[in-house]
Amino acid sequence: MIENSKQMISGKAFEYALLKEFFEKLSKETTVQVIENAAYITAEECFSRIDKNEKSRYLLSASFAVNFMIDIEPRLSNGINKKDLLQLEILTDNHGQEGDVRDVLAIRLMQKWEIGISAKNNHHAVKHSRLSNDIDFGDKWLGVNCSSEYFENVAPVFDLLKKIKIDSKSTQKWDTLGNYHESIYKPILEAFRNELLKLYSMNKKQVASRMIEYLVGNKDFYKVIRSTNHIEIQAFNLHGTLNLPFKDKFPKFVTPIVGLPDQIIDVQFKENSLTTIIVKFNKGWELSFRIHNASSRIEPSLKFDINLLSAPHTLFKNTLSVNTI
């Protein structure tokens, strides 16, 4: 039995609800196969753990989303022939570590086509990445290694946290450190900011575009955000692979291509904050990076809660009202 947070369970349950609705609606139109991998089994178990009323609400929200997806993606319901199988799959979380943020995939191998959905249940965060003594965020996010100077700057802070953890046998809590926003968060964020600007100066176009691709998504996808009475669908059509016609069948709505940035305009602390940095790009992109401790007990790493503050005006958005009464 899975032991995990309520947020994780609800998120996986929503992924399962989306896949289930895709299967039930599309199996009437085309040949569909569900890939029952480990991620599917986990999501199915999470769905089984929520109560009956919650299941109904998740399925209703998923139904609205899937109906709209069928309207804007003709290849979901149209195959070349009976052998043109539509496969439905839930991806494992480790794909996100490589910049693929999609949770649910619909794949037609015969057409060499796929679309993916990032499923969000009551939150809009784009990524939860970590910083530590040995995490090279430059290499992982941007394809450019962080400098030795960056690691020299963050080492004293993370070494101190490691020592506290060892000496206290993992029992000491963050609130014993006093104003740790000033003593811990601020120097780490300053080192992060300075290193990001240094990496950007070395390869401007690559760093700007890859940062968005890694944190927002390096493959085109739809983001489906569920709230109590609404479903919001956003089309991150970064490379033009979404919203394609099938023969003479065209989407009912157009989702424009969303241009990637090639410049970082500004990197600054949020006003009156020691925990958050705002990164502004050209072409309308803007991200916030809020650093925090992932556990109440001290450990030698910190976590980013990264949110998309703004996106290009070409980003397609549609909000559907869902009557859950």
Interval 251-274: pLDDT, tens: 999 999 999 999 999 999 999 999
Helix (H) or strand (E) holding 44: helix 38-49
Whose tokens are 């009912």? That residue is 252
What is the structure's pLDDT at 2? 43
Cβ neighbour number for residue 74 with a 10 Å cutoff: 18
258, 238 contact by CB (below 8 A): yes
Structure tokens at 161: 């946290």
Residue with tokens 């910049």: 99
- Give the C-alpha distances (Å, rounded to integers) separating 176 from 155, 274, 297: 21, 18, 10
The single residue listed with the structure tokens 């940035």 is: 261
Strands (DSSP E) found in 58-200: 86-90, 104-108, 113-121, 130-132
CA neighbor of 300 nearest in space, from 148, 130, 96, 129: 130
Give per-residue pLDDT as tens, 129-169: 899 999 999 999 999 999 999 999 999 999 999 999 999 99
pLDDT score recorded for residue 132: 95
Instruction: Give the integer Cα–Cα distance in Å for 189 and 277.
Output: 7
- How far is Cα 205 from Cα 271, in angstroms, rounded to an integer? 27
Largest CA distance in the chain: 69
Question: Does the predicted model carry a pTM greater than 0.75?
Answer: yes
In the chain, which stretches have pLDDT less than 70?
1-4, 94-98, 123-125, 324-325
Enter the tokens of residue 14. 């929503």
- Residue 98's pLDDT is 66
**Which pair of tokens denotes residue 26?**
């599309």
The predicted pLDDT at position 217 comes to 86
Tallying the residues shown for the chain, one arrives at 325
User: Rounded to whole angstroms, how far apart are CA atoms 171 and 65?
Assistant: 45
∠322-323-324 over CA atoms, to 5°?
105
pLDDT at 4: 57
What pLDDT does 123 receive? 64
C-alpha distances in Å from residue 200, one per residue of 60, 146, 205: 45, 11, 8
